[in-house]
Amino acid sequence: MPPSRRPKPTASARWFWRVVALGVLAAGVAGFVALNVLKPKPAVRAPTKQLPLVRVEPIEFRSGALAVTGNGLVKPRVEVVLAAEVSGRIVYVSPSLVTGGVFARDEPLLRIDAEPFRAALAQASADRRSAQASLRLAEQLLDRTRELISKGFLSRQTLDERVAARDQAQAGLARAEAIERSRRLDLERTVVAAPFDGRVLSEKVDPGDTVQPGKELARIYAADALEIPVSLTDRDIALIADPWAQQTGGRGARAEARVEYGGTLYRWAGHVDRVEAAVDSGTRTFNVVVAIDAPGARGEPAGTAAQDVPPPSAATAPPLLVGMYATVEIEGRREGRYAVVPRRALRDGSTLWLVGADDKVSIRRVRLLSESENRATVSADALPDAARVIVSDLKIVTQSMPVRVVEAPSPAAPAAAAPGQARAAVEPRAPQDAQ
């Protein structure tokens, strides 16, 4: 029996299912469109503009004589190398002959064994007495010869011989006296004494050492003459009233040396002593030498470098020592109103970026008067009172550009004044530049 066959759908049935499929598709499309049209839209906000962040410091205004600032190491004006002038064994070393020791003028610092030199002096003295005796004999023979010649008993040739013998005896005596003086000097040189009041920089000798002439035994310096060479540009040295005053018999400009010790600044008064003869060929700077008026005195407190440091007492004040690194300020001849700003705030040597009360940038051109390692002195004509200067770096700066301001930490010590007044200023450590 043949298998049964499924009846074919009619044309009306096919159209029905097509219509159903199209209806389902249309419903899906309509639902998708309705979801996108009817869903709530997010709120649209304008993007906020991030302003540059800058660090600022207040500008310090001053008036009067302009201070010329520099730095240098404290050095002795007179430094001597102690060396033996005779050879021998060291039998005495002064307790003062130690590094940092203090000694007085003509104080014996070293003694060399003097016995060999006493013996040599005794022998030279004996040779001198022998030469004196020979000279007396030669003179007596010469006198007798002249007497006999006058009576006709001797010839002129004998007289010439006696004169030559007398001259030789005189030369022998002179040689013996010179040798005796030399031996006496050698004996005196067995004692090495201090040529001035001073201190010991270093020593290289102990009792029992055998020394030779010219060997360095110690280095000493005169404690009453300390000085600080400071390198200044021609711009800075031109601000000093008369740096060459000492060459004409005058006194140089007043100066002040400051040294930080134990968190406290100490100061010593001084004056410009001279300008060294040659300009440094590498840096093209002048070396101005500042002499300290009272180098042996303890420093006078001029301020503290930190707020947590207790006030210093007179017992803790140090003396000025060789090798200390000092900041020197010299009284200048320029008078009037000027401004002191951080050196890093000076742009291209003649421009400052200021921030006003509205936190907007103001670009001002100034005239540079002097500069040091951390500070610059500029003319105050174009600067408003209570101005703040930008000390951080910016990639782009325009006039009236708004910024966000961060106040840089100010120094703990009060603002510095002209030399001769109590003052101190310590440069703060700046945080990392922010933009």
Query: Who's near 159: CB < 8 A, 6+ residues apart?
Result: 142, 145, 146, 149
Sequence letter at residue 81: V
User: Residue 344's CB: how many other CB atoms inside 10 A?
Assistant: 17
Q: Write down the pLDDT at residue 356.
A: 87
Which residues are paired to 75 by β-bridges? 227
Q: Write down the pLDDT at residue 46.
A: 62
Q: Write down the pLDDT at residue 424.
A: 34
Q: Which of 224, 292, 283 is nearest to 73 (CA)?
A: 292
Q: Which of 221, 225, 299 is nearest to 256 (CA)?
A: 299
E strands of 158-263, at which residues? Answer: 191-193, 198-203, 210-211, 216-222, 226-232, 254-261
Q: Write down the pLDDT at residue 133.
A: 93
In what helix (H) or strand (E) does residue 22 lie, and over which residues does it extend?
A: helix 11-38
Q: Write down the pLDDT at residue 75.
A: 94
User: Residue 369's CB: how many other CB atoms inside 10 A?
Assistant: 20
Distance CA 97, CA 90 (A): 13
Q: Report H helices in 218-294.
A: 234-237
Q: Write down the pLDDT at residue 417.
A: 39
Task: Give the torsion through C-alpha atoms of 136, 142, 147, 148, to 10 deg.
Answer: 120
User: Residue 113's CB: how many other CB atoms inside 10 A?
Assistant: 14
Sequence letter at residue 128: R
Instruction: Determine the length of the chain.
Output: 435
Q: Which of 397, 395, 391 is nearest to 428 (CA)?
A: 391
The model's pLDDT over 257-310, given as tens digits with 9 standing for 90+, comes to 999 988 889 999 999 988 888 888 888 888 999 999 988 888 888 866 555 555
**Residue pointed to by tokens 């500069």:** 371
User: Residue 396's CB: how many other CB atoms inside 10 A?
Assistant: 7
Per-residue pLDDT of the chain (435 residues; tens, 9 = 90+): 455 555 666 767 677 777 777 777 777 777 777 767 666 666 666 666 788 888 999 998 888 878 888 899 999 999 999 999 999 999 999 999 999 899 999 999 999 999 999 999 999 999 999 999 999 998 898 888 888 887 777 777 888 888 898 899 999 999 999 999 999 999 999 999 988 999 999 999 999 999 999 889 999 999 888 999 999 888 888 888 888 887 777 788 889 999 998 888 999 999 998 888 888 888 888 899 999 998 888 888 886 655 555 555 666 788 898 999 999 999 887 767 888 899 889 998 889 999 988 888 999 998 888 777 788 888 888 788 888 999 988 888 888 889 888 887 654 433 333 343 333 333 333 333 333
pTM of the model: 0.63
Q: Write down the pLDDT at residue 178.
A: 95
The model's pLDDT over 190-243, given as tens digits with 9 standing for 90+, comes to 999 988 999 999 999 999 999 999 889 999 999 888 999 999 888 888 888 888
Residue-range domains of the chain with CATH: 53-61+337-407 (2.40.420.20), 69-77+225-331 (2.40.30.170), 80-113+190-222 (2.40.50.100), 114-189 (1.10.287.470)
